[in-house]
C-alpha cells in the first residue's frame, strides 16, 4: 500500500509492479524504490518542479 500524503491520508493498493511504477512516474518520481521484504518501507521523492500529490 502507498500513502500519497501525510496531510491527506489516502491509501492506495496496487495489483502489479507496472501499476505502481506508472503511478510513481505520473507523480514525478525519477526512480522507484520498492522494498522486497514484507513490512519494509521506502520513501519516494518527486523531482523539483514537477507536480506532487500535495499540489
Digit-coded pLDDT (tens) for 13-38: 888 989 989 988 888 888 888 888 99
Please state, in angstroms and as integers, the Cα–Cα distance from residue 41 to each residue in 2, 3, 9, following that order: 10, 11, 16
- Alpha helices by DSSP H, 1-55: 17-26
Given this model, what pLDDT does residue 18 score? 92
Residue 52 pLDDT > 70: no
If you average pLDDT over residues 5-18, what whole number do you get? 74
Please indicate whether residue 30 or residue 5 has the higher confidence score (pLDDT). Answer: 30
Residue 48 pLDDT > 70: no
How far apart are the C-alpha atoms of 29 and 31, rounded to whole Å?
A: 6
Q: What angle do CA 51, 16, 49 make, to 5 degrees?
A: 10
pTM of the full structure: 0.59
How far apart are the C-alpha atoms of 32 and 40, rounded to whole Å?
A: 14
Amino acid at each position: 500500500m502507498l500513502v500519497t500524503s501525510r496531510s491527506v491520508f489516502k491509501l492506495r493498493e496496487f495489483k502489479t509492479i507496472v501499476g505502481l511504477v506508472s503511478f510513481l512516474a505520473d507523480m514525478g518520481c525519477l526512480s522507484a524504490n520498492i522494498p522486497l521484504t514484507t513490512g519494509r518501507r521506502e520513501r519516494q521523492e518527486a523531482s523539483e518542479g514537477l507536480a506532487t500529490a500535495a499540489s
